[in-house]
Structure 1
Amino acid sequence: MSLEVPPSAQPHCAVHPDVLAGGTCSRCGAFVCADCVRFPLGSERVFCVACSKRPEVDYLEAFRLEHWGRRDSWAWTVGMLTLSLLLGVFLSLASGGAPSRKEWLFSALYLASVPVGGAFFLGRPWARPALVVTPLVLALGAGVLEPAQRIHHLLSALPFMFVAVLIHRDVRNRLFFRQPVTPGALAAMWNRLRNNPIARQAFHFGLSGLLMPLLSPLAVVCGVVGLFRVKPQAHPPIGRRGQALAGIVLGVLGPLLWMLVLLPYLDQHFGLVRKD
């Protein structure tokens, strides 16, 4: 008696009936072949093509689509600063007497940056690189109008250029401009914003509690809640166990340090601690 199972009796892929299946989808149970197997980032389970595209499975893709084309905080910041610059220039020209030629030229120079800020707020792709070079262009133009202050204008532009470069590299801002983002960068952003945020907040409360002990109980509570939420095997995985534990430890140490340091200090300098 042969124990071999004939090919006709073996399971075949649900999408490719002529191909033998190599496994089953962990969600719907459908048979999948090697070409249909999917391993979404952050998961070790096997999924078919259809299930791998579902938001609860490919949570990073759902996270990307959630922010795709949506204005971020940097866009609002640039938009508000551009509006403030526009209003400031007009108020400066309207106040006092007739502006001098130099004031007109400086006003025109500043107004030249308004289209860049407006286009950035509206999500125009060309505005991303333009925002990086705009501070340098303004500094060079100001140096032409005031040659004696050329170095000062260039040095003043460096912080703005540094911030503009950070904005240009920001993953969230790239999603607003519908720019491609690597899976690793997207996973890092998800981990920063969505992975057990209460545990991260516990760590922040614990650090702040070293200076403001009233925040220490919040650190302990958030740390305990965040610790119970840790599930590395879940999908998506929930981590930050270390930050939850650190929040609890810092939340306990904060008041103790104040009792050991502050009370003796008050007793020594102000006599606030009563002695028997």
Structure 2
Amino acid sequence: MRMRLFISLAAFASLMLGLMPSAKAQIGITVELNRLNYHQYEWVYARVHLRNYSGHPLAFGESNDLKGRLSFEIEDSKSDFVDKIGTDVPPLEGIILNRGEVKSIIVPISQYYKCVNPGKYTLRAVVEHSLFKEKYQSAPVSFNIITGVQMWERIVGVPDFIKKDPDSKIKTRKYRIESMFDGNNKVYYMIIEDDAKVYSVKRIGFEINNSTPLCEVDSLSRIHIIVQAGAKVFTYLRYDIDGKLEEKEVYFKTDTSPILVRNAEDGTLIVAGGRKARKDLDYQEVEDKTF
């Protein structure tokens, strides 16, 4: 408990120091990330804190007198700057900072910058405003892009219900289950891809008691997954070929654990064993927040 308190106080002190102004600073800026390690195709998110030290209210708008800009400088492990995706920047229009006020902005970094190659990255946030001559930069934070350890894979055909071209070849995609350490926990990911594109990356659960996800694909090329979520709690997930979650159920272990059972005649899959869990009695629903 003391160690957790010490870490929390240290993180708070670091944030406050970052927001303290230098002799000339008009805006204090700090940045934090939601985790240390990210899967290669997972989006990276940053939370930027802005504090107004100018002594005047500060508004970000579209007019020339109110124009402001938030950008990032990201260096890879070779100290090369990461390329931007297009020309868009995170929007600041509509933000008003009163004197001394702090506001926070969550930015999907991967929407604006190409952070996909495995390696270590260093990120700084930069803010500018038409009222100030100088740009203001945060202290650097680091993160890692890593590839997971493959646990399971299956190549499936992509269903064609319309059959526009009956002579065309069957398209295929690959389901993969990987595990990796995100800086706090060992996490399981589901990836859907083909040779040209990654269609979906989902965090499906955590490693508990050295368990591994149970996975099967049905006759419609949908993936069914059972992943342990607690000592006696299991989560069942069903995704379509594009990674859309179609069904989610929580099960509780009884004399038997839930497993996937296939109907040999039509290829459908059902969950057998255990029973459906009772929310707030057998488990607590935890919201998956970015921060």
* Bigger strand share: 2
TM-score range, shorter chain: under 0.3
Q: What is the TM-score normalised by the length of structure 1?
A: 0.23
Q: What is the TM-score normalised by the length of structure 2?
A: 0.22
